[in-house]
Amino acid sequence: MEKRKLGNGGLEVSAIGLGCMGMSHGYGKPADKKEMINLVHKAVDMGITFFDTAEVYGPFTNEELVGEALSSLRDKVIIATKFGIFIDANGKQAQDSRPETIRRSIEGSLKRLKTDYIDLYYQHRVDTNVPIEDVAGTIKDLIKEGKVKYFGLSEPGVKTIRRAHAVNPVAAVQSEYSLWWRKPEEELIPTLEELYIGFVPFSPLGRGYLTGKIDENTSFDKSDFRNKLPRFTAEARKANHAIVELIDKTARQKKATSAQIALSWLLSKKPWIVPIPGTTKLSRLEENIGSLNLKLSPDELKTLDDVSLKIKIEGNRYPEELEKRSGL
């Protein structure tokens, strides 16, 4: 498995990671825990060393799953988790990144993940009620204490990144990035390159849409959070089919799958980009890893770049209240 470095502090991971959220949160009924533990073990066997979770996934159950799966393999893997989002009394997501809350969160995550340290600890979303300097300073202290190795931010704006990085080096930024969400190219990626910060794209397959397996007739489980996303209304799924057709055309030419094309495109962008596609199926895991053996030519990459930018994508990626948390 190819390795890539995130930041310049020595954090090295497999070129593709595994997003674990969907195993127990977000995409309908949680998968069987034993089967998911076996899938994580298979991922390690196939060379994946980078696993992504968060305390709010479940909440808590996804960290427990990852901890149980990886506790016997701890010295072989890199575990990333996140703090700063919790479920309030009304069942809604809320934010709290106060230093005392971060310290409570790290203790809970360490216990659930069955480990003495977190490799990469992300602020899940920017908390406008807490100065980012206070957050970065708290992580700096946790690094000194040996409870955290590297600091990360999820979906921050570039000003926030610079302020945090000035207090404690940011090793990686996690944000959505794919052929149908290219906003990171405007400011985020140039800033990360300037500051030598790694980039970890989540939803690199457009929450499944870019694989070509979803159309306007697809029905999701009632607990699937895609039901709440404007980009996943039946009308938007139908209107956005042009991006699927573009990827499918390239896939047929390369005798590959659409998922492999979408991932190969991302991997070609920068040597410090590490996508974390999620899956609950071994066949999809194998398919995603197969993208590392697929090389797109400069002409093929240019076509994907140019044509995808001309396609108007219908529907916002999040409802307004969730989008407000991004890029602050």
Q: Annotated active-site positions, please?
A: 57
What is the rounded distance in angstroms from the CA atom of residue 23 to the CA atom of residue 35? 10
d(CA 218, CA 209): 10
Residue with tokens 């042009």: 242
Left if phi > 0, otherwise alpha if psi is -120 to 50, otherwise beta: which for 80? beta
The answer to whether residues 39 and 285 touch, using CB atoms and an 8 Å cutoff, is yes
Let me know: does 16 contact 274? Beta carbons within 8 Å.
Answer: yes
CA–CA distance, 110 with 104 (Å, rounded to integer):
10
Helices (H) and strands (E) in the chain, counts: 12, 11
For residue 292, give the amino acid letter.
Answer: L
Q: How far apart are CA 44 and CA 69, in angstroms?
A: 10
Opening angle at CA 245, ends 240 and 249, nearest 5 = 160
Distances (CA, A) of 140 to 102, 115, 134: 12, 19, 10
Q: Which residues contact 312 (CB under 8 A, 6 or more apart)?
A: none
Non-local (6+) Cβ contacts of 303 within 8 A are 250
Nearest Cα residue to 8 out of 189, 184, 185, 170: 170
Between the CA of residue 206 and those of 89, 167, 234, 253, what are the distances in Å?
Answer: 31, 33, 15, 21
